Amino acid sequence: MKLKIVKFKSVRSTNDEAIKLIRSDKYLLGLVSTESQTKGRGTRGKKWISLKGNIFISIFFKVNLLKIKIENYLIINAKIIKKVLHEYTKKIIKIKKPNDLLINGRKICGILQEVIEYKKEKYIITGIGINTKISPLNKNLKCTSLKINSDKNINNEAIVKKIKKNYDKLIYDINNHNSSYVKKKYIN
């Protein structure tokens, strides 16, 4: 099964929309995308500054937490996004555990992971905010954008397609291989 892309112009939060889609019984897995987010969330209740022109997506799918532990998804998510962004910059992208990606000590991406239960099934929702074109001004946090750190054309749609392709592969591997194969391929 492949992720179905569900696009919005503006939402409060892509993670909130993913939860609504799961509970609507229409989607078992998907990718929510929006141009604008009015109440983006970060970890520990922090606000995610969502400047129009950047990427705001949430990926959701059913999980078996006995097969792959939730903390391993934190590692997998960061590695997938790092791999995609690395195609656009020669600069080193560092993972700041548990959920940030940094270039030169400045935040370029935040990842919010949530798990919900619906009809006795567990779903992981991974919210991803990437400063692709605009770097938010935040007195408490140094930020940057992919555009500042790249000599390539930054196309949000192409980046989202690459992220989707990587998650489609991950979901395929989870469903068709044992957990040790998945851990070796995505975590180690």
> How many CB atoms are closer than 10 A to CB 28?
14
- What tens digit of pLDDT does each residue of 70-92 get? 899 999 999 999 999 999 999 99
CATH number of the domain to which 172 belongs:
3.30.930.10
Provide the 3-class DSSP secondary structure of residue 84: helix
- How confident is the prediction for the chain on average, in pLDDT? 91
Tokens encoding 32? 């929510």
Is the pLDDT reported for residue 44 higher than 70? no
- Domain with 76, as residue range(s), is 4-186
Instruction: Indicate the number of domains in the chain.
Output: 1
pTM: 0.93
Question: Beta 93-96 vs 55-63: how paired, if at all?
Answer: unpaired
- Quick one: what percent of the chain has pLDDT higher than 70? 93
